[in-house]
Structure 1
Amino acid sequence: MRILFLTQIIPYPPNAGPRVKTWHVLRYLYERGHDVTLASFVREEERPYLSKLDEVCTAVHTVPINRSRVADVGYWLQSHLSGRPFLIERDDLKGMRQLVQNLLAEQEFDVVHADQLTMTQFALDAKKVGGVKRPYIIFDAHNATWSIWERMRENAPWFLKPVYRIEENRIKQYEGMLVEQFDHTMVVIDPDKDLLLAGVKNGNTGTLEARISSIPIAVDAEVLQPIQRKKGSRNILTLGTLSYPPNADGIRWFLQEIFPLVQQQVPDVTLTVIGKNPPADFVQMAQQSGGAVAVTGYVDDLTPHMEAAALMVVPVRAGSGMRVRLLEAFARAMPTVTTTIGLEGIIAEADKEILLADDPQSFATATVNLLNDPDLQEMLAVNGRKLAEARYDWRAVLKQMDAVYALAAPQPEATSHA
């Protein structure tokens, strides 16, 4: 089929959750023989990777995007006038809207696939396409985004709670509208079905539920091979895109409330924080830690950092969907501690493939126990690798997309016989 695929970021290299998910989806569509035209926002640092997309796309079109805090204030005010979410206003750029409209006018597409919330607004233009058959439109929801804002509101300072609630409610209603307007919606975990349906105004969720499919995020277990960790290491590793508020919130929680408890029991423990755009307070905490904490920023290769670590922590207090960091930790055979929210949507068993803890004291205890127990580290590493291979490799997981795309396939005309 001919697919117009809309994405908010260049999905390469697969070094962050959204990129990992989208890159494997594009690879799968290509291997299934589909003809994919990509329309994406692009940042200057992403341009060197555009040629890589030619391997899986027939054509690649881009629109430059630059973010600034000053501009965000304007988009926030604009959202009050329009009633639309701030996230939608921020990405509603004239260049992208014109590009999508031109592509829809110039070519016939069977499917318009909107990857993530903010690209849905452009896919809706496909409903205005004239002719015999308009494209089938798919909303690929990486998360139920309104629930992320709800969880962030719960952990936010009191003076920010009303701000978070406003955006939370707007996104909830907007996502409910999308479920109604799109032909099909894909989520990565079953609970997100109900979260998206919670925003539907008329309450007619029975028929809409049948138009939502749950397809997990996948990783490449062939590429992500097990790590050979340094014996006797006292280093803890954590990572994530630190400009993403839920990631920064969780790691800040670990730095401020959990790591000091670990240090009390393991004085020689160290912590390495990896991720693009670390907040200023992370850098300051590292400078004041006497060498116990290192904040690296973005790194091209995680392997040496994983090899130097005893374990990984994925501290999550707010979020939705699946944590790709965990899937990759399983694939790399990295023993890991996370929270119940962090493990959402991943079929893994506590104390078999992973350790779970939800408050500072229990998280610190689990981390210390894992640091001090090489046999437990090895058990989690081996079982996690087996889980990644069996359940979360992209070649197996994404076969479930075939049923969704079959709904968009042109149906043969009925033939009458005299």
Structure 2
Amino acid sequence: MSKILFVTNQIPYPPDNGVRIVSHYAMRLMREAGHELALAVLTEESDDLAGRFQQISSFCQNGYACWMQLPVRNNVRIQSSALLKNRLFPIERYDCNAFRKKLSELINSFQPDVVHFDIITMAQYRDAVPSGIGTVASINDSYSLTLENLLTTGQYSGTQYIYRRWQLYQTRKYEASAYARFDKVHVMSEVDAAYLKKLNPDIETSVIPNGVNPALFSIADQTLEQSDVIFVAQLVGENLHSLQNFLKTSWPLVIEKCPEAKLYVVGRLSRDAVTVKDIFDSTKGVIFTGYVEHLENIYAKCGIAVVPINKNCGIVNKAIEAMVSGLAVIGFEKTFSGIKEADAGVHYISVSDYHDMGDAVAGLILDKPRCQAIKKAAHALAVDNYSWSSRAEAYENMYQHAAQHARTA
């Protein structure tokens, strides 16, 4: 059995967002397989840190789990420092000497066979790992490819567009050099793996897509007859922008054809999200639920999920969650690029813009037999391909390969 140290920028509990999901289930699977685990967290989170850490530290060997609050720094100073050092803003933001020291101490005492670094911000701590210990950069998806997607879809304009273009140039250079130093780079899709290989053929990738919360597998019978609509996401950044577009352009078309339709908007209400809520709260049929701890409870009330995430990097967790819950999912073509087993028109509905999305939602509400056929096909596909238990062997192989490569390098 192996000793695996996880290094994350969020406390990986509960597994309710795209950052926590990977590290949480990787830890859970490896613990169930009998491996010894340790955890080091450097986070800027502020919600129930002690309670959440207590939950996840139970996965670890006694005394081998620690967390630190990311020191507060002025964003202007971080940006200035990043420019002077020619570093990416998120890398500079998470550069913390106190954490690096604590991590080195944990490595020396735990003596891991392999260290799992979560997402791009934590990859910089690779230099704390002595030779002979395997390293895995579990980055979800390529940050360069993410930026390319955002620039292509017109998310930025003016000086912000110029800055993001420069950041894309920086990120490509960073990913090409930094990830080649790891024994394995874990990504969600073949698209990301191919992109990184194009940046640097020496980058060793492992493609292991996320699974789905087991609690969602059993509610398809409840959702089969439902027709209400749901949007689930962290209500920040790109997700919030997509929600606004849907509410402004798509939802009025739905209400025009289906006056009794309901839309549940699910996600913790950040300050920016509250502003959006205030604008659309009185819109007919729209219900902002806030954060829902047990998603199976809210999914069970709905029959159609809208996932307007227009990117071809990574895997869109909310799409596969909705599929396994027995909902008909509507998104853009790129939304489903990470779900290689799925076919448009059979397992999901693909649209070209927000106007088409509104028409597609209304069409499924009005055409119950077609909607149910898509639900059944999507649920069957997700059950067959996206259980977390089916990932255990792939994770074990990735960690073992990384440890072996480090020992023989």
**Identity rate of aligned residues, in percent?**
22
1:199-238 CA distance string (max 9 Å, x none)? 44xxxx2xx25x2121111124466422454787553110
Measured after TM superposition, the shift of residue 116 of structure 1 is 1.0
Say yes or no: does 1:142 pair with 2:157.
Answer: no
Residues 8-53 of structure 1, C-alpha deviations (whole Å, 9 max, x = no match): 1111111122222221111111122221111113433133122221
1:270 maps to 2:259: no
Counterpart for residue 64 of structure 1: 69
Q: Distance in 2 between matches of 1:268 and 1:66?
A: 49
Which residue of the partner structure matches residue 77 of structure 1? 80
Segments of 5+ residues of structure 2 without an aligned counterpart are none
- Equivalent in the alignment of 2:242: 250
Where does 1:3-402 land on structure 2 (aligned, <5 Å)? Answer: 3-42=4-43, 43-45=45-47, 46-58=49-61, 59-65=64-70, 71-126=74-129, 129=130, 134-154=132-152, 155-159=154-158, 160-200=160-200, 205=201, 208=202, 211-221=204-214, 224-229=217-222, 235-243=228-236, 245-278=237-270, 279-289=273-283, 291-318=284-311, 320-346=313-339, 347-402=341-396
CA contact (8 A) 1:353 1:383 kept: yes
Post-superposition Cα deviations, 1:98-139, rounded to whole Å, max 9, x if no partner, equal 21122233342211111111111112321xx3xxx5311111
Amino acid at match of 1:239: V
Q: Per-residue displacement from partner, 1:278-302 (whole Å, max 9, x unpaired)?
A: 424421332342x432222212233
* CA deviation after TM superposition for structure 1 residue 362, in Å: 2.1
Cα pair 1:286 1:294 within 8 Å, conserved: no
C-alpha distance in structure 2 between counterparts of 1:216 and 1:389, whole Å: 14
What is the alpha-carbon distance in structure 1 between the residues aligned to residue 113 and residue 7 of structure 2?
14
Write the letter of the residue equivalent to 1:327: I
- In 1, distance between residues paired with 2:218 and 2:80? 47
Q: CA RMSD in A?
A: 2.5
Q: Which has the higher contact order (CA 8 A, sep 6+)?
A: 2
1: CA distance between counterparts of 2:367 and 2:392?
A: 36
What amino acid sits opposite 1:39 in the alignment?
A: A
The number of residue pairs the alignment matches comes to 397
Whether contact under 8 Å (1:4, 1:36) holds in the other structure is yes
| Deviation of the 1:63 alpha carbon | 0.7
Q: 1:66 to 1:274 in 2, by over 3 A?
A: farther
Cα pair distance change 1:12/1:318, threshold 3 Å:
same
Deviations for 1:63-90, whole angstroms, at most 9, x for unmatched residues? 11377xx833332222111111111111
- Structure 1's 186 and 230: CA in aligned 2 closer, same or farther, altered over 3 A? closer
Residues 157, 192 of structure 1: alpha-carbon distance in 2 compared, 3 angstrom cutoff: closer
Q: Normalising by structure 2, report the TM-score.
A: 0.89
> Take 1:327 and 1:66, find their aligned partners in 2: how far apart are those partners?
36
**Equivalent residues of 2:247, 2:280 under 8 A apart:** no
More helix by share: 2
Alpha-carbon distance in structure 2 between the residues aligned to 1:217 and 1:234 = 27
Taking the aligned partners of 2:156 and 2:88, their CA distance within structure 1 comes to 21
Q: Deviations over 1:280-330 (max 9, x none)?
A: 4421332342x4322222122333432332311111124620011112112
Gaps of 5+ in 1: none
